[in-house]
């Protein structure tokens, strides 16, 4: 709630003091920030009658001086140049500039220089520089996410840009929350270390005055960790509603694009919105597993059919009047029901076609339970199975390799060969690349619960007790990290403090930033943890929101670059 409310507050403040007809101008990144929290009808209420992108606004020559322009853009050099040109040839009556992050003095100078007509009324920094669609989850939607896997020597400028964007995003989050945190990072990750140090420099040195907020009794904690510490979670298939939609179809800024499925009848909705803020059914079902969702949807359809029947049964005048009164709600309910039914139907079809029930069972076994021999058998069987798709085969081999990296290298080699022979599009060496990036030597956390005795015992107990649902038995590593923080037992050796920061006791607010991306399974874990009211509130953020396709794409991209990089070297 917190971050969503902050962005909405920023937008409200931007629009409320400016009277008259307005045009809102966004860039390609802020359009996501705004669209996910603010609706078009709310904009219309605030008298914003046109929304444009900063790229397309200079194309048209129409002068619309009866409109006031409200710019909300990122302070990149690209945007500043475009703005320069537009200020020199102003199309609108007034210009109000809002930047989503810190401006450099040179940039203000450039803008002042080009504002010869003196159309600019205000220049403000409103720090809504992140995309937050769920209460405790935000993302930076970065396109070049793969850069975190590449060592600095290969592409230093690229990594610098990556790091700058992340630092800007994290700074914006804390400015929106009005807090200055104590910073810790994962020792084994260079990228995390770099980002943590640069954030500390920004908050405590360069812009120390800006971040000097009222101190509370315990400072919040910023923990910067690396995706490669838990490569298992993005590879797994998901069975809870929000995570499943993202895994099977794809959820971008709370929108689902059904065009990729391709098998829809003509009049069906092609793009739908899945927002926990606006859709009550989604809000109560986003973390439920597939079976429960099916039942709840059936109940919703039954309710709706009853309402529809009573609407058809119009006999008296009062019935007619009531129908006309309730028509908008009826229409809304109808749209909602059809949306969820379509989604669940499409997902069921995909589960059926890709045989995901069997595949996922093996995946969960690989992730949670032991037994190398049985695992090898199961994976080999599925590799031989014709109806299993290439991407699923690749995931299975990767999960096996991550778990049994050191055991029985011969069998591991056999699996690699089988994978290469079965999947024509497979980029050779990808699994080995993954092991180099996220293998057992690189990881800090106890991913499979087989490092310390306590975890082994816990796993054995769980195995004996049995699990509720075989398909959702996996807990992301993040859950353990959150538990350690709640108990105040996050090891300094593994997660050192930056500089001379120190924290007494346990923090009350924690922002965990995962370099490389988060998953919806992890955001679900955070939401459930927050619901237990343990005294610590967690917020999770990342450079992107991953599903298995995206994670594999990042791996491939990183592999390609490091190969060409090594050729250059």
Q: Please, what is the end-to-end C-alpha distance for the chain in angstroms?
A: 48
Q: Cα–Cα distance between 544 and 547 in angstroms, integer?
A: 10
Range 193-223 burial, b when 16+ CB lie within 10 A, else e:
bbbbbbbbebbbeeeeeebeeeeeeebbbbb
Of 267 and 492, the one with the shorter C-beta distance to another protein is 267
Q: Which two tokens stand for residue 378?
A: 């199961």
Of 97 and 149, the one with the shorter C-beta distance to another protein is 97
Q: How many other CB atoms are found less than 10 A from the CB of residue 44?
A: 10
Of 115 and 226, the one with the shorter C-beta distance to another protein is 115
Of 26 and 399, the one with the shorter C-beta distance to another protein is 26
Of 98 and 433, the one with the shorter C-beta distance to another protein is 98
The residue whose two tokens read 């990767």 is 398
Q: Which two tokens stand for residue 127?
A: 């720090």
State in angstroms the smallest separation of the CB of 421 from another protein: 43
State in angstroms the smallest separation of the CB of 19 from another protein: 5
Of 6 and 519, the one with the shorter C-beta distance to another protein is 6
State in angstroms the smallest separation of the CB of 111 from another protein: 7
Q: Cα–Cα distance between 406 and 34 in angstroms, integer?
A: 48
Q: Cα–Cα distance between 513 and 539 in angstroms, integer?
A: 8
Of 338 and 389, the one with the shorter C-beta distance to another protein is 338
Q: Which two tokens stand for residue 176?
A: 């929106």
Please check whether residue 516 is in contact with residue 554, taking contact to mean a CB–CB distance below 8 angstroms: yes
Please check whether residue 213 is in contact with residue 178, taking contact to mean a CB–CB distance below 8 angstroms: yes
State in angstroms the smallest separation of the CB of 33 from another protein: 10
Nearest to 545 by CA among 191, 287, 342, 255: 255
State in angstroms the smallest separation of the CB of 535 from another protein: 24
Of 81 and 124, the one with the shorter C-beta distance to another protein is 124
Please check whether residue 391 is in contact with residue 355, taking contact to mean a CB–CB distance below 8 angstroms: no
Please check whether residue 551 is in contact with residue 238, taking contact to mean a CB–CB distance below 8 angstroms: no
Sign of the torsion angle spanned by Cα atoms 501, 502, 507, 513: positive
Which DSSP helix (H) or strand (E) runs through 523? helix 520-531
State in angstroms the smallest separation of the CB of 107 from another protein: 10
State in angstroms the smallest separation of the CB of 184 from another protein: 23
State in angstroms the smallest separation of the CB of 336 from another protein: 8
State in angstroms the smallest separation of the CB of 108 from another protein: 5
Of 5 and 384, the one with the shorter C-beta distance to another protein is 5
Please check whether residue 419 is in contact with residue 383, taking contact to mean a CB–CB distance below 8 angstroms: yes
């Amino acid at each position: 709630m917190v971050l969503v409310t902050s962005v909405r507050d920023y937008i409200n403040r931007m629009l409320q003091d400016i009277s008259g007809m307005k045009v809102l101008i966004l860039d390609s990144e802020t359009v996501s920030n705004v669209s996910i929290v603010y609706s078009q009808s709310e904009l219309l209420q605030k008298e914003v009658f046109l929304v444009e992108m900063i790229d397309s606004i200079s194309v048209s020559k129409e002068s619309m001086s009866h409109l006031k322009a409200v710019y909300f853009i990122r302070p990149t050099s690209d945007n500043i140049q475009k703005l320069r040109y537009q200020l020199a040839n102003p199309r609108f009556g007034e210009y109000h500039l809002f930047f989503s992050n810190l401006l450099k003095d040179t940039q203000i100078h450039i803008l002042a220089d080009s504002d010869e007509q003196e159309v600019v009324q205000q220049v403000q920094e409103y720090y809504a520089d992140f995309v937050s669609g769920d209460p405790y989850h935000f993302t930076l939607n970065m396109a070049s996410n793969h850069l975190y896997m590449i060592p600095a020597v290969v592409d230093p400028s690229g990594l610098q840009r990556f790091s700058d964007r992340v630092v800007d995003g994290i700074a914006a989050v804390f400015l929106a929350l009005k807090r200055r945190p104590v910073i810790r990072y994962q020792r084994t990750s260079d990228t995390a270390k770099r980002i943590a140090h640069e954030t500390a420099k920004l908050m405590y040195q360069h812009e120390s005055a800006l971040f000097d907020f009222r101190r509370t009794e315990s400072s919040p904690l910023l923990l910067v960790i690396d995706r490669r510490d838990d490569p298992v979670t993005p590879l797994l298939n998901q069975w809870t509603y929000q995570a499943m939609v993202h895994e099977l179809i794809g959820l971008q800024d709370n929108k689902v694009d059904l065009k990729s499925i391709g098998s829809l009848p003509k009049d069906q909705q092609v793009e739908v919105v899945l927002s926990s803020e606006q859709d009550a059914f989604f809000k109560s079902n986003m973390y439920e597993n597939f079976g429960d969702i099916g039942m709840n949807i059936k109940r919703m359809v039954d309710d709706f059919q009853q309402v529809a029947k009573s609407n058809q049964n119009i006999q008296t005048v009062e019935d007619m009047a009531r129908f006309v009164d309730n028509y908008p709600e009826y229409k809304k309910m109808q749209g909602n029901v059809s949306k969820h039914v379509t989604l669940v139907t499409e997902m069921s079809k995909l589960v059926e076609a890709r045989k995901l029930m069997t595949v996922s069972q093996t995946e969960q076994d690989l992730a949670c339970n032991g037994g190398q021999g049985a695992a090898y058998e199961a994976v080999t069987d599925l590799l031989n199975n014709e109806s299993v798709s290439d991407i699923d085969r690749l995931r299975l081999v990767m999960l096996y390799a991550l778990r049994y990296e050191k055991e029985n290298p011969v069998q591991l080699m056999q699996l690699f060969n089988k994978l290469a022979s079965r999947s024509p599009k497979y980029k050779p060496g990808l699994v080995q690349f993954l092991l180099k990036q996220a293998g057992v030597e690189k990881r800090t956390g106890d991913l499979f619960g087989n490092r310390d005795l306590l975890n082994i015992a816990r796993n054995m107990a769980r195995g004996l007790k049995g699990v509720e649902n075989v398909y959702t038995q996996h807990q992301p590593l993040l859950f353990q990290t959150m538990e350690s923080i709640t108990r105040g037992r996050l090891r300094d050796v593994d997660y050192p403090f930056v500089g001379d920061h120190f924290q007494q006791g346990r923090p009350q607010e924690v922002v965990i930033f995962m370099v490389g991306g988060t998953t919806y399974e992890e955001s679900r874990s955070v939401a459930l943890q927050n619901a237990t009211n343990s005294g610590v509130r967690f917020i999770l953020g990342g450079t992107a929101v991953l599903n298995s396709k995206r994670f594999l794409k990042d791996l491939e991209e990183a592999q390609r670059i490091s190969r060409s990089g090594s050729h250059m070297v």
